[in-house]
Each structure stands twice: as structure tokens, then as C-alpha cells.
Chains A and B, each alone.
Chain A
């Protein structure tokens, strides 16, 4: 499916279930998401984590509703909140786990006409992720070597990260320019990402079915 439309679908679904309270639909969406995730041969460890991690916020919200809710439908709403989290996570992961960020960015450039400077600027920064993780470790070590522990509330930690960002952004922007990237200039595309009628079917039909499930059939 076209990556831009796939993310649009996931976001629209998440948006709609945020404002509706049909837990059966949440469960169906979560199940469908899980099927897509399993279909793509996601490692079991990852699937296990996806099942476990949302348990914490989901339980917290449900318990809070049971104990603090002021309506008469607290049990129903607790179930809705619990299942909603799982619907978010599995619908979202069905999109992210099946689309490399590279492909999404190319689709945003070609199909959604996001300016290429935003698409590739973001991508360039994203691909520095391993360096970013090790830079945070280095900054904290540099602090500890001088007897100063840097916490997530220490301005110096962010200050040093921003200074690294200043240097890196200059290096990367120059390197990309040297590799021929010019803002606003046309580019050719080796992989042309198309939007076919089938993609539109894949976004419109599920959304229609969702409306039917939410509003036409009386589900709990």
C-alpha cells in the first residue's frame, strides 16, 4: 500500500477511536493490526514487547476510571480506554513495522509533495541516530569524569547536545550539498512511488467499514 496513505489511514483510525467509545471495534482493530504485524514476520520478541509494554498505561487508565470516574458507565468506559490503547499500538505498529522510514519519506516527497529539503533534512538527521545515542552517553561520561552527574533535568546535558547538533547539522548540510542536493531544485526518482486506484480502495473501504461498525451497528 502507498506509504503516505497507509499512515494517513492509521492516523485517521486512531483519531476516530479517540472520540468514540466502542470497545468491540477497538478489539477488532487491535486484532487486525496484530495480524498485519504477524504477517510481516515480526520477530516474536518484538511482538511480545508490543503486547506487554502498553499493559502499564492501559491498566493505569482503566483502574483510574474505575476508581475516579464520576459517571455510571465506569466499567464500560474503563474497558474502552484499556482496549483503545491496544488499538493505537497495533494499528500504529502495523504501519511503522511494515514501512521503512526511508520509504515513507520518499512517498511524502513524491506523493504528498512535502518539500525535499524537509524530507531529506529530516532523514539525514534520523540516520545519525546511532551517533546521537552514543553522544548522549559521551556527554554524560564527560560530566562524570569531572564529578558532575547530568540528569534529564540538567540544562548542560541539552546544551551540549545542541552544540553537537550545531556542528553536525553544518557538516551534514555541507555534505548533502556536495552530493548535489539543492533546495527547491527538481530531482529524478529511481523508485517512483505510485498511488493507484487500489490504494484509494484500501483507505476508503476500511474507513467506511469503521463508520458502519461505530455508528450503524449497536456494539458495546
Chain B
């Protein structure tokens, strides 16, 4: 059992040695020792930053603590040596792709235990137990980069279990984890807490499924200036209102089979690790319509979009514009179809906002339409006056808005959107939705949108497709 306390902590990221605007200001809390705490709050509020501070990664890797401190079992965290600290606290990260140094599962576990200076004779027994605990003994010799998101996160937890730290921190660990793996991981975390008295702190903005597991819910506000532990009653209210607020009570039409197709899938099979994500005899996305694609995390929605966008292998057939995607010439293909990446930064090619917009204007298929409307669009999205700003230094919401705008400006006939609404506050979301609706209509575009954010977007959507049990089906209702 470990006690983690945060005492009047303030933290800023820095450029050179200059502190920027504080990310966290004067935060204090005592986490329930031996408890399971869910830390929640809007994206960009500093949840990850706080966890990395508790893990001792900050300020070692980034930024500066400008006031206050963190204690672990009443000892100042800053005074605990890094090797000792790694025996006390470990962290599991949101992005499962860059959290392993070694090639195979077993080698990563060996690496971590060697780092802890565990005597060699104890290493294999520890690994055996950790793999068995996570029920992944069969993954032992697998190359990590070939595993699915869910499998990678099981391995990440196995490493932490093998390291046997008292405190386990998890930063949005389920973002790319399929439902079965998520249930298994949550169950294992609960066992670690109950049987081994681990202190667990998990950050997430999605509150689904946590009700049965958590002892404490702590809310961080948007500005990162307050941490508020909720009472049991407030916690239950928040969990209940979360599942209600997720969707609208709307009905969608089913597509008219006579509509011309935009994307045709035949005998399409997609896999990730050992999992089959999709096995679809035939399916059509229709032209000049906006289709919403939903389904649980990790079931393959993003993979489907990347396969359609010629960025992921597939077996079977995907036809766009009468051409098999696999065989199409890139230069021509990407004039017909664009992908709005989940990570906005992937889309940018230049340095400033002005340069980004200039590139889209120059190569747009509807250059006249967009150059006439651009000032209005910028004002509508509140991106005006940012021309000489560096795109990488924009806020998360501004990046997302700029990314969507510059892709809309290309006037590409088919656009795929991978989680375009994450990190947008309510006003920004309204601005983006109205812009998308406007442009889709004026430029006769086909959109396929993958989104978790379902609230308030119904007006934009024509059809709704669910991806579940490796199948795509049109559905009249959300949820």
C-alpha cells in the first residue's frame, strides 16, 4: 500500500529555460492509499502531466515545478533515487506504440527486471507469473510491433505487474483497446488493488465501465487550477449522466440501395495481431452522403479508414472510383480521397497557419469557392488573426480546426475523418459541424466519419454504420 500526496503543486512546460503559462497551478490532493482512483477532466486539462509528475518523469524530461511537491509514502518524490523510484511507481501510457524498448514480449519484461537489478534467478519466475496473471503466456515470444492495441496494453500491464510497484498509474490506457481486452484489464486492475493492495490512479475523460471498479473520482478543471475529489453521491451522478449524455435520441434513414456507391468493400478482411477486425462479404458507402461509423474502441474503425486510404494492408477488395485501392496510383488516388488523421499534426506540412492555408488554396479543386469564403470560414472557426502562428504551438482544439479546414479546402470528393471532434469544446464543435455541413453540401462531397463524440452531431449525419463482431451494418439508431 502506498500513499501518494500532491501538495500545492504548480508546473509549467518550458522553452529553453523560460517557463510557459502554467499547466497546473496550486493543486493539492491525497489519493486513497490502496484505492482505485479515476482522474477525469476535459482533454488538455493536464491529467497526463499530473500522472507524469507522480511517476517522476517530469520535471526530469520536461518542464519545471514552480511550487509545491509530491510525496510518496511521506517521502519527497524528488529525493527518491530513480532506481528506487522505479520499484515504487510505474506508468502505463496512452500510446501503446512507443512504450517498449525491446522486440519481443519476453525481452521487454527481462529488460525491465534487469533495470530493477533483480537477481537473474528470480527473473524468469516473475515473468511466468506476470504473463499468467494477464493470461498472455502465449504472447511470450511474439514481436510486440505485430500485436493489437489491446494486446500491447496487456503486455504493458504485465511489465508493471512483474516490476511489482506499489503504485500503478495509467494514462487513458484504453484508447485503442478492444472491449474484451478492456474488461480483462479492468478486472485485473481490480484484483491488483483488492488482493495486492496496489494504489491505482487512472486518468480518462471517458467514464464508461468504471462504475464497478473505482473508489474515488477526482476531477481536474480545464485550467488545471483545481483538483476536486467527488463524494460517493456526486461520483454516481457523474457516471450516470455520462452514459446518458453520450448520445442523442435520433433516428437515421437507411440508405437507398440505388444511390451511387463511393466506396465498395468485397470480401474484405482486416487483421491486427492475432485478431480479425473485419470480415465483410460486401458493403457500400454511398456517394454524396455523410456516414457516421461507430463501434467500441479497438474494433478496427481506424484500421478500416487507413486501409481505404491505401495506408494499411488488406485482403479482399476495396474499390474507390472504379479502381482497386491497392492497385491505384497514389498521385491520382489522393486527389479522389483524403484522410483526416486522428493526430492533427500528421496532416501539417509547413510551419505557420498562413503557409498551411496557402498550400490548400493553391492545390484546391475548388480554389475559387474557397478563396472567396476563406476569411468567413476563419472567422467562423475563430482561427482569424493566427496567420503567423506556428501550427505545432496551437492549442489542441485550434490544431483540430485548422486540420479539418485545410482538408475541406482541398475539395477532395471523398473525405475520411478519424475522430475529428476530439479535444473540441462545445462552441468549437458547433463551428466545425456547421462548416462541414456547409462544405459537404456545396462541394458534393462524401464523408465517412469515425467518432466517439456523438452528442450534438446528428444534424451532419445522413447514415449511421456500426462496426461490431467484425461486421459493418447500417443502423437507424445511435448507441
Q: Which positions in A face B, CB cutoff 8 Å? A: 102, 120, 123-124, 127-131, 134, 137-149, 156, 160, 163, 167-168, 170-182, 185-190, 192
Write the nearest CB–CB distance from B157 to chain A, whole angstroms.
12
Set of chain A residues within 8 Å of B113, measured between Cβ atoms: 180, 188, 190
Contact assessment for B101 and A190 in the assembled complex, using a CB-CB cutoff below 8 Å:
no
Asked if A185 and B83 sit within 8 Å, CB to CB, the answer is yes
User: Could you tell me if A180 and B412 are in contact, using CB atoms closer than 8 angstroms?
Assistant: no
In the complex, the answer to whether A175 meets B360 with C-beta atoms within 8 Å is: no
Please state if B90 and A179 are interface contacts (CB–CB under 8 Å).
yes
Q: Are B101 and A178 in contact (CB under 8 A)?
A: no
Specify which chain A residues have a CB less than 8 angstroms from the CB of B117 in the assembled complex.
185-188
Q: Is the CB of A163 within 8 A of B311?
A: no
B330 touches A181 (CB 8 A): no
> Which of under 10, 10 to 19, 20 to 34, or 35 or more describes the interface residues of B?
35 or more
Q: A180–B407 contact, CB under 8 A?
A: no
Also in contact, A123 and B101, with CB within 8 A (given A142-B349, A146-B406, A178-B55): yes
A145–B311 Cα gap in the complex (Å)? 12
18 additional contacts, CB 8 Å, given A160-B349, A180-B90? A102-B102, A124-B100, A139-B346, A141-B311, A142-B347, A144-B334, A145-B334, A146-B349, A147-B362, A149-B331, A167-B345, A172-B98, A180-B86, A186-B117, A187-B115, A188-B123, A190-B110, A190-B113
With a cutoff of 8 Å between Cβ atoms, the chain A residues found around residue B335 in the complex are: 147
Interchain CB contact (< 8 A) of B103 among A127, A186, A187: A127
Q: Is B359 an interface residue (CB 8 A)?
A: yes
Q: How far is the CA of A124 from the CA of B108 in the complex (A)?
A: 10
B177 interface contact, C-beta 8 A: no
Shortest Cβ gap from B6 to chain A (Å): 19
Task: Kindly provide the distance from the CB of B57 to the nearest chain A CB, expressed in whole angstroms.
Answer: 5
B311 partner, pick from A138, A149, A189, beta carbons under 8 A? A138
Pick the most buried of B101, B107, B124, B350: most chain A CB atoms within 10 A of its CB. Answer: B101
Q: Decide if A179 touches B57 in the complex (CB within 8 Å).
A: no
- Give, as a whole number of angstroms, the nearest-CB distance from A138 to chain B: 6
Contacts of A129 in B (CB 8 A): 145
Contact A163 B345 (CB under 8 A): yes
A188 to chain B: which residues have CB within 8 Å?
A: 113-114, 117-120, 123
**Across-interface contacts of A176 in B (CB, < 8 A):** 101
A169 to chain B, nearest CB (A): 9
Q: Identify which of B60, B98, B120 gathers the most chain A CB atoms within 10 Å of its CB.
A: B98
B159 near A141 (CB under 8 angstroms)?
no
B330 neighbours in A (Cβ, 8 Å):
140-141, 144
CB distance from A89 to the nearest CB of B (A): 25
Are the C-beta atoms of A190 and B98 separated by less than 8 Å? no
Would A182 and B83 count as touching, CB distance under 8 A?
yes
CA distance A127 to B108 in the complex (A): 11
Output the nearest chain A residue to B94 by Cβ-Cβ distance.
Answer: A171
